[in-house]
């Protein structure tokens, strides 16, 4: 019977791969309208992830922030091991968005 424990993806040197996406306290407002209020994400590298929710839940805003199209008002975000605020070019080089 197969094991139900997933192994963590590793780099060629054996170290664990960075998370595909890691976000803590992601926030975004437009004027007095808060559209993201403290979103936390931890998406392991190599996984399949779906972002679901009703209209107006902030899905598009979150994707725009994670893909560097708009900036967050608060929170720490890493995409493919790169700090979103400090290395947006590295994030853009590591992702593809359609």
Q: What is the CATH number of the domain that holds 29?
A: 3.40.50.300
Q: pLDDT digits over 49-78, tens only?
A: 999 999 999 999 999 999 999 999 999 999
Q: Has residue 37 been placed in a domain?
A: yes
- SS3 at position 77: strand
pLDDT score of 3: 47
Count of structural domains within the chain? 1
Query: What pTM was computed for the model?
Result: 0.81
Sheet with 33-43: strands ordered across = 33-43, 21-30, 74-79, 82-83
Is residue 9 in a domain? no
Give the range of the structural domain holding residue 39, as residue numbers without chain letter. Answer: 21-94
């Amino acid at each position: 019977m197969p094991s139900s424990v997933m192994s963590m993806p590793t780099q060629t040197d054996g170290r664990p791969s960075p998370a595909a996406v890691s976000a803590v306290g992601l926030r975004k407002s437009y004027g007095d309208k808060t559209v993201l209020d403290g979103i936390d994400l931890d998406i392991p590298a190599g996984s399949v992830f779906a972002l679901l929710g009703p209209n107006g839940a902030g899905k598009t805003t979150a994707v725009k922030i994670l893909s560097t199209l708009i900036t967050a008002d608060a929170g720490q975000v890493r995409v493919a091991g790169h700090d979103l605020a400090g290395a947006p070019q590295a994030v853009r080089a590591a992702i593809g968005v359609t």
